[in-house]
Structure formats: structure tokens, C-alpha cells
Amino acid sequence: MKEAFVDENVKVTVRDSDIPVPKEGEVLIKVVVVGTNPKDWKIPKMLGNSNGSNEGDDVSGYIETVGEGVVGFKKGDKVAAFHPMFAPHGGYAEYAIAPEYTTFHVPTKTSFEEAATIPLAALTAALGLYQRLKLPLPWNPTSEPLPLVVYGGASAVGGFVIKLAKLSNIHPLIVVAGKGSSFVETLIDPSKGDTIIDYREGDEAVRTKIKEASGGNPIHYAYDAVSEKGSYQNLDAVLSAPYKITTLQGPKENKSPEDVSTFVGSVHRPPTEGKTIEDSEFGAIFFPFLGRGLAQGWFSGHPYEVRPGGLGGIQGALEDLFAGKASAVKYVLRIGETEGITR
């Protein structure tokens, strides 16, 4: 099969590889569409990976085979899946491996392109909201005002944070965004106090407007879907102790470590005996929930742009992500467009 590897210089090389075999609890997916994420260039750079790695973690396609013990899927099922970060056999290939607990059925009416925008970003949003911040779950929504700051609301993660928070009846949503604000406007509910703050007005304006948006009420929760360029410091300046901030990257400075919850983004860890529900079990519950939402129309994916060339288009997509050109959009690629693949 054809498989693409991203190195530390964000150079992508397509090689011939063996089709992987799923282990116990895993599924093998024939990839139709793969999504891209900023971590796809960040991780190879961070690790100094000269040999390259298959960083595709947002996968949609068809079940090809299943490993021992898998009961929820069979060959031919239309699915989407989150391929665990740092694991081999990602979605930048004709075939990818994913755990059963991060795979979900995709309804016929949902395109592979839309489905490929969901797994990593939606699960990142959900884990941050519910496993880290411990906010009310969508099937047990709050009935009281619960202010939440979402920093980076036009990003894929930020957009899913808003969608899920609304399902949990979390309002007011105080959303920090920039050129993607028009997209955020389609998600929020101003009648419940939701508002957008433009980060391009500067840090002081952002801090002042967050406080104004709360109506003088304390804010104890924030989801930082940016986690750079002063976002954490702005939140630290406006939240009321005790507070919790979920971040995509741990902050370099932490004034109140006992008050802050950070989130790094991986769910690939086994259950631990004696602890509360683990991320793997959360995924096993949450992904079918999203599949039901797609089928019933109360959940949807992120806006996307199809980049041409299949695996050959990955490098250009990652270069544009690195340059910060993506706003309110996910870049996705159709594997069948790869040179040398006939489907």
C-alpha cells in the first residue's frame, strides 16, 4: 500500500508499505478520506524525526478487517475513527489501524469528507470539557447559567467545544476569535448571552471585554483551543479562583497550579484499575453518541476544504497549516486521488 511520512522539516515522502494487521480490539480501515491537523507538522518538528512518521489521525472509510474481540464492526461498515497519536499505521495511507473504542459508524447521508473532520478535534473538545473540566454532560445538561470562555472558537477544536457546550446547555459562551468570527456567529446563541471577542484588538481589550461579557459574574472555566501567543495569560488574568483551564499544550507559567487543569490531547492509554472512568471508556461511549447525532441531525462536522492529490497533497496542506492560513476550515484529502492508486 502507499503510505505518507512527515519528517521534521515538514517534508512528506510517500513509500510502499505492507498492509497492517489489526491486533485484539483494533480495526483495519480502508481509508477514503483523511483529515489534517496542526499537530501533524508540530510533532515531527518537536521530536526531530528525520525518518518521518505517519501523522494522519482523522480517518474515514470502510472496515476492511477486525481484530480479535471486536464486536461492534464488520467488513464493509462505513466508519470514521481517531487514530491514536504516536501509534503506527495512521491515516496517511491506503489502510489505517484504529482501536474499536475510537471508531464510530457514519450514516449514509454523511460524506466521508465531513466525517474526517470530526474524530480528533471532537474528542479533544469532549475530553477537555467533560474529563478535565468536569462540566455537565450533554445527556445531563445544566439548568443554571454556567459561563465558559472558549479561546480560539473558529478552530476545529474550538468549534466542537461550542457545539458540545450548547448540547450541555452551557451559557453564556464567551468566544475569542478573529477572522473566523463569521463562522462562530453560526454556532453561538446570543439570546443566552453568548458573545464573540476579537483577539486582534489586543490583549488588554480581550481581557476587558471578557470581564464585561460575564456581566460582572465570576468565570471559573475556560477552554483554551489556542494555547499560545498569550492566550493562557489572558485567561489567567480574567478568571476567578478557583478556576480551571483546559489547554491543548501545557502553559509555560502557572500561577495557581492547584487551580488549573491542563490537557495534552491523547486518549491512547489503557484503563487503570481503581480509578474513575478512563479516556478509553469515555471514547467508547462518546463516539457512538456523535454517530447518533450525525444520523439525527443535531450534530455536524467542521467546514472543510478538499486538497487535491491525495497523499501527494499532504505537504502543501501542512505547509498552509504551518503558515496559519487555515481559519474555520479543515483540510482533508481523498486517498483515491493519490498517484499510483487505482480505486
Asked if residue 135 is part of any domain, the answer here is yes
137 and 239 within one domain: yes
Mean predicted confidence (pLDDT) in 302-322: 96
224 and 205 within one domain: yes
- Identify the residue with better confidence: 312 or 269: 312
Last residue of a domain, one of 241, 259, 277: 259
133 and 43 within one domain: no
Q: 233, exposed or middle or buried, with CB in 10 Å at 0-12, 13-18, 19+?
A: middle
Query: Hey, how many other C-beta atoms are within 10 angstroms of the C-beta on 94?
Result: 23
Res 155 pLDDT > 50 = yes
3-state DSSP helix/strand/coil percent for the chain, to nearest 5?
Answer: 30, 20, 45
CB-CB contact of 283 with 102 (8 Å): yes
Distance CA 205, CA 158 (A): 20
Domain range for 80 is: 2-118+301-337
Mean predicted confidence (pLDDT) in 207-215: 92
Flag the least confident range among 115-124, 153-162, 233-242.
233-242
CB-CB contact of 302 with 160 (8 Å): yes
9 and 88 within one domain: yes
Distance CA 1, CA 32 (A): 13
Beta-bridge mates of residue 26: 99
What is the predicted pLDDT for the residue at 288?
A: 95
pTM: 0.91
Residue 63, all three cell numbers: 472496515
What is the predicted pLDDT for the residue at 50?
A: 81
CB-CB contact of 123 with 267 (8 Å): yes
Q: What percent of the chain has pLDDT above 90? A: 74
What is the predicted pLDDT for the residue at 49?
A: 76
112 and 140 within one domain: no
Distance CA 163, CA 77 (A): 27
Last residue of a domain, one of 208, 228, 259: 259
235 and 157 within one domain: yes
What is the predicted pLDDT for the residue at 277?
A: 60
Mean predicted confidence (pLDDT) in 120-148: 93
Angle between the N-to-C axes of helices 231-238 and 203-213, in degrees from 0 to 180, rounded to the nearest 10: 40
Flag the least confident range among 26-30, 182-186, 254-258, 336-340.
254-258
Q: How confident is the model at residue 215 (pLDDT cuts 50, 70, 90)?
A: confident
Mean predicted confidence (pLDDT) in 90-96: 98
Res 272 pLDDT > 60 = no
Nearest to 83 by CA among 279, 264, 316, 267: 267
142 and 20 within one domain: no
219 and 137 within one domain: yes
CB-CB contact of 135 with 221 (8 Å): yes
Res 271 pLDDT > 90 = no
What is the predicted pLDDT for the residue at 280?
A: 81
What is the predicted pLDDT for the residue at 232?
A: 83
Number of domains within the chain: 2
- Identify the residue with better confidence: 45 or 260: 45
pLDDT in tens, 183-209: 999 999 999 999 999 999 999 999 999
Distance CA 305, CA 317 (A): 10
CATH number, domain containing residue 86: 3.90.180.10
Flag the least confident range among 96-105, 165-174, 244-253, 320-329.
244-253
Beta-bridge mates of residue 13: 5
Last residue of a domain, one of 229, 259, 289: 259
Asked if residue 267 is part of any domain, the answer here is no
Distance CA 317, CA 326 (A): 9
Asked if residue 331 is part of any domain, the answer here is yes
What is the predicted pLDDT for the residue at 250?
A: 58
